Amino acid sequence: MSYESRVALVTGAGHGIGAGIADRLAGQGHRLVLVDRNADTLAETRERIVSAGGTALAIEADVADAAAMTAVVVRVAGEVGPVEILVNNAGFTRDHPISELGLDDWDAVNDVVVRAAFVLTKAVAPSMRERHWGRIVNISSISALNDDGRANYVAAKAGLNGLTKAAALELGPFGITVNAVAPGVVVTGMTEIGARRHNRTLDEHVAILAEHVLVGRVGHPRDIARAVTFFTDEDADYITGQILFVSGYPHG
Write down the mean pLDDT value for the chain: 96
Q: What is the pLDDT of residues 133-174, one digit of tens each?
A: 999 999 999 999 999 999 999 999 999 999 999 999 999 999
pTM beyond 0.85, yes or no: yes
Half-sphere exposure of 89 (CA within 13 A, CB side): 28
Domains of the chain plus CATH, in order, are 7-184+220-246 (3.40.50.720), 186-218 (no CATH)
- Tell me: pLDDT of 2 over 70: no
- Where would I find the H helices in the chain? 16-27, 39-51, 66-79, 103-110, 116-131, 151-171, 189-197, 202-210, 221-232
Selected catalytic residue, list 3, 153, 238, 249: 153
Judge contact between 205 and 111, C-beta under 8 A. Answer: no
What pLDDT shows up at residue 190? 75
End-to-end CA distance of the chain: 26
Phi, psi torsion values for 57, nearest 5 degrees: -110, 125
Confidence of residue 252 (pLDDT cuts 50, 70, 90): confident
* Active-site annotation holds for 249: no
Query: Taking phi first (over 0 means left), then psi (-120 to 50 degrees means alpha), and beta for anything else, what does residue 119 get?
Result: alpha
